[in-house]
Structure 1
Amino acid sequence: MNDSRTSLSRRRILLGAAAASAVTVAGATTAHAAPPAGEKPSARPAGRLVVRDRIATARLAGGPARFQADFHERLDAWLAFWSANSPRVWSTPVEVEGQVGADGDTFTLHAIRVTRDDEPRVAFASRRPDATHLATLASLHHHFPAVHVEAGGALRVTDGAAGWTGSAGQVSFAVTACRELWGLRAADATDWREHLSGIGHGTDPASRSGWAAFTRASLRRGLRTESY
């Protein structure tokens, strides 16, 4: 099969992934109930909770979990993006291992599993500090505003619109990506943007479009797919 047909097949699988998830939680309306007397209302109104047993094409290890509806949609888009930029010899993800927060708006990622030549493969493992780990971190920064590296290497994301904020977490990732993926060993928190500019990365990564371009390019460099 040629590359264009392979890419088209992958896109069709990814676009249909969200439809394979389970239905909305029947009792989710309780999330909107008024708090008991004497309790202060939450600063952030609870959204619509849904139960899902998959993220995009991948089943959730451990079974269904409750998510905020919009957050699950962001996770679907993230995993589809990660897969679309992964090596062609990998299948679309078949399993994701992680935990959803109690409010359904955080997710801690531990592993992504794919198949290659009909054999199972752990494509991302939180405890494996390799280029794929950094690439996956880049993919999460592409889709979420707050990404934290937990003890042991697990990656925790919080719901929200993606984009450059200048947070310590984003700067730390950018410096590490410059050093480990782009070969800019002298880059630090004060001059990493200048180092990128020096190798022809034309768009300022501290802009919305520039951050999206930088994180996507870093994902592809980490997964060694930048040549196609």
Structure 2
Amino acid sequence: MNDSHTSLSRRRILLGAAAASAVTFGAPGAAHAAPGAAHAAPGAGGAARARPLVLRDRLAGARLAGGPARFQTDLHERLDAWLAFWSANSPRVWSTPVEIEGRVDADGDAFTLHAIRVTRDDETRDAFAAGRSDAAHLATLASLHHHFPVVRVEPGGAPRVADGPAGWTGSGEQVAFAVTACRELWGLRTAGPTDWREHVSRAGHAVDPASRSGWAAFTRASLRRGLRTESY
């Protein structure tokens, strides 16, 4: 996919890093619910309540490379919604994603993405690859910021997301992403950490990107700019 996206510098792409204590996907098998490692949560009378993990081998119809993995149910549902959103805003010549490569943390509530694979012209290709510095990388980060509150880029370029409701928090990761997106996807080369919102507003973005609805609109627009689909 390199020929369809503008190459970006490694420094601009690697917006942050987070160490992930993770397990790789296990042996292939059918998707089903299964107990696994669990969080302890306060229950009635202060008793701990375990939250079983579910075993899944797909995200939004795309198979998980390496076989099924154990997720917290809520994280898996959010990842399903994220990948469907990414696909809906991808080029029409791409198939829906056919394979996702990544890893789930041992407690099932964080996911690190390495690749999204689609089919084009009867050939499976990496539409997103963690180690590749291009507009599709930033576009995919935008889609993850649209659906998750915490998106951190590990050394090597793989984004790691933690479960939770999406929205603007003003975190360093969000601001760093917004500035890079302004410069590399929106063409707002002088945007900085303190004035990027004003640059976006002058570019015709009607809603404050630091509001809940504005952040959702900004990240969606950035996804479409990065994947070259803003015209439809």
18, 27, 31: which one pairs with 2:38? 31
Of all paired residues, the percent bearing the same amino acid is: 78
**Where do residues 18-97 of structure 1 align in structure 2 (5 Å cutoff)?**
22-25=31-34, 27-28=35-36, 31=38, 47-97=51-101
Q: Does 1:147 align with 2:151?
A: yes
Q: 2: CA distance between counterparts of 1:102 and 1:78?
A: 21
Partner SS for 1:113: strand
Shift of 1:152: 0.5
Partner SS for 2:128: strand
The CA deviation string for residues 103-159 of structure 1, in whole angstroms up to 9 with x for no partner, is 000000000000001111110000100000000000000000000010000010000
Q: TM-score, normalising length from structure 1?
A: 0.83
**Is contact 2:38-2:107 (8 Å) kept?**
no
Structure 1: tracts of 5 or more residues without a match: 1-20, 35-40
Aligned to 2:211: 207
Partner SS for 1:112: strand
Partner SS for 2:38: helix
Shift of 1:47: 3.1
Q: 2: CA distance between counterparts of 1:226 and 1:83?
A: 14
Aligned to 2:6: none
The CA deviation string for residues 187-224 of structure 1, in whole angstroms up to 9 with x for no partner, is 00000000011111110000000000000000000000
Structure with the bigger RCO (C-alpha within 8 Å, sep 6+) is: 2
**Is contact 1:47-1:69 (8 Å) kept?**
no
Shift of 1:46: 5.0
Shift of 1:48: 3.4
Structure 2: tracts of 5 or more residues without a match: 1-29, 42-46
**Is contact 1:105-1:158 (8 Å) kept?**
yes
The CA deviation string for residues 67-107 of structure 1, in whole angstroms up to 9 with x for no partner, is 00011000000000000000000000000000000100000
Partner SS for 1:31: coil
The CA deviation string for residues 19-67 of structure 1, in whole angstroms up to 9 with x for no partner, is xx82210x35x73779xxxxxx98xx65331000011111001110000
Aligned to 2:187: 183
Partner SS for 1:157: strand
RMSD value, Cα: 1.8
Structure 1 counterpart of 2:229, one-letter code: T
Partner SS for 2:70: strand
Q: 1: CA distance between counterparts of 2:146 and 2:39?
A: 31
The structure in which a higher percent of residues are helix is 1
